[in-house]
């Protein structure tokens, strides 16, 4: 259980996870989830009654399990007080500036493309 800014205790469901609001898009929010995936979040009725949400607020979210791409979530309410380990995780995510995309890296060895060119091959002999 955690307390809201008004001092009320909120029950965090077992299926819920955490997120950080990155942008307000009218009635929807861009939420960076704890698994480093950006999702579109919408407020539930209960969350609308609680408080106003701003950029960099920590929230409790429920990911849409019925959606195969899992790109949307429900904002269930604020997360207050924010546990230190949650802040540390989001600080690491923010410091890497990772967009959630796959990043391909290459080692020190380069790929060798110095093989025979098509100009050196006699296609009539094949």
pLDDT in the model for residue 60: 92
What residue ranges define each of the domains in the chain, with the CATH number in brackets? 2-96 (2.40.50.140)
Q: Are 5 and 72 contacting, i.e. CB atoms less than 8 angstroms apart?
A: no
What burial class does residue 105 get, using C-beta atoms within 10 Å of its C-beta: 0-12 exposed, 13-18 middle, 19+ buried? exposed
112: Cβ–Cβ under 8 A, 6 or more apart, which residues? none
Report the pLDDT averaged over residues 8-24: 78
Condensed to tens digits (0 to 9), the pLDDT of residues 30-80 reads: 999 998 899 999 998 887 776 788 999 999 999 988 877 888 999 998 888
């Amino acid at each position: 259980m955690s307390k809201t800014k008004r001092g009320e205790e909120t029950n965090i469901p077992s299926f819920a996870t955490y997120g950080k609001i990155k942008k307000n898009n009218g009635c929807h929010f861009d939420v960076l989830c704890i698994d480093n995936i950006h999702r579109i979040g919408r407020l539930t009725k209960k969350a609308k009654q609680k408080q106003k949400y701003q950029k960099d607020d920590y929230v409790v979210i429920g990911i849409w399990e019925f959606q195969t791409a899992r790109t949307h979530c429900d904002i269930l309410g604020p997360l207050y007080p924010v546990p230190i380990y949650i802040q540390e995780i989001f600080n690491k995510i923010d410091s890497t500036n990772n967009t959630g995309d796959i990043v391909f890296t290459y080692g020190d060895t380069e790929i060798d493309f110095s093989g025979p060119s098509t100009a050196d091959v006699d296609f009539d002999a094949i």
